[in-house]
Amino acid sequence: MNWLKLFTVVLILSSCSQGDRGKVYVTSQNSGVTVIDLNSMEVVDEFKVGGFPRGIGLTKDGKYLVTANKDDASISLVNVETKVIEKTIEVGINPEFVRIKDGLAFISTEPSSKGKPPAPGEQKHEEEEEDDEDRTPAKVSIVDLALGEKVRDITAGPETEGIEFSKDGKQIIVTNEADNTITVHDFISGELIKTISVEPYGKRPRGIKVSPNGEHYIATLEHSDNFIVLDRDFNHLKTVSTGKSPYGTSFNAEGDKLFVAAGKSKTLEVYDATDYSKIKDINIEGKRCWHFTFTPDNQDILLACGRSDEIVVVDVGDLAVEKRIPVAGIPWGIVSYPPAIGSLDQPR
């Protein structure tokens, strides 16, 4: 066999070994769910769910989607294969984040939020229209997906936003926008364990993410253009400046880099996770890019950019934009299957 033939065989075998890269699911506030095939990086399906869907999660087996529907104060349990909503479950006013763990869906709510999406052409974001004077305590609703019903609530701070789990799975960590706190709760009982005020470091905590080794937590402070680093016991270690309006954040799978979506700066920022020094600002140019996911093979990052109606694809190797995928209807949430690390999910 000559070298050319051998090279061709190697390429074919390599291509075959890569297999199916999986899919990405995107909630769009005005449209429903869009499905992107990661092999072609093209939209392959769209279907309706509840009214004004934002947060999104996938069951571990990939058979069901869970979407948080603001207009309905509910979540939809959607069969991925048939696209049928098999159950609608009321969870509370203004449901936003969805996280799934151990057969349970955790949904943050914002009963005190007065925000609403701006009309087409307006420049304001939802947060700029919100009134934080209402301090109505929010709930994290917990739904047993096998039973298809809400089983309990956790009382958090006003305008509960991000949800994360400790590395050992024993604690739930919640960001509360309106009173500038992060609360830590027992996973089983929901009992409040600790409250951390972020006011010495900034305002409006939104994104929250644990490092893959469980040693650090990152919380983005949207109105202060920074993020804070907490140790495993939730002690403050460091405050790091970012671009304008940081929101979604995630480490990479290896845990050596941290990524932060700075919405108003239109950048995805990359930090060294050892000392949190800046590595690069990736110029996204998308509008309101809040949440993102890595692909299951960790080769790309896909960002949902709501106000430019697109998904922006970033190559992890060279940290540069490689493609833009049109997705209409104000894309908000984004997760991968098989499960991948991102601002809204973790491998399970």
Residue 15: inside a domain:
no
Residue 17: inside a domain:
no
- The answer to whether 178 and 112 have CB atoms below 8 angstroms apart is yes
Contacts of range 183-192, beta carbons closer than 8 Å, 24 or more positions apart: 183/156, 183/157, 184/234, 185/140, 185/154, 185/156, 190/140, 190/142, 190/152, 190/153, 190/154, 190/155, 192/155
Q: How many structural domains is the chain composed of? A: 1
Tens-place pLDDT, residues 57-89:
999 999 999 999 999 999 999 999 999 999 999
Q: What pLDDT was estimated at residue 157?
A: 87
Backbone angles phi, psi at 130, to 5 degrees: -85, 150
| Cα–Cα distance measured from residue 148 to residue 171, given in angstroms and rounded to the nearest whole number | 23
- The answer to whether 220 and 247 have CB atoms below 8 angstroms apart is yes
Backbone angles phi, psi at 220, to 5 degrees: -85, 140
Q: What pLDDT was estimated at residue 113?
A: 60
DSSP H helical segments within the chain, as ranges?
A: 3-18
Residue 342: inside a domain:
no
CATH number at residue 201: 2.130.10.10
Mean pLDDT by 10 residues, the chain (348 residues): 43 53 97 97 97 96 96 96 96 95 94 52 44 70 96 91 96 96 96 97 98 98 98 98 98 98 98 98 97 98 98 98 98 98 94
Look at strands 216-221 and 205-210 and give their pairing. Answer: antiparallel
Residue 7: inside a domain:
no
Question: Domain residues for 273?
Answer: 22-118+130-337
Residue 344: inside a domain:
no
- The answer to whether 290 and 248 have CB atoms below 8 angstroms apart is yes
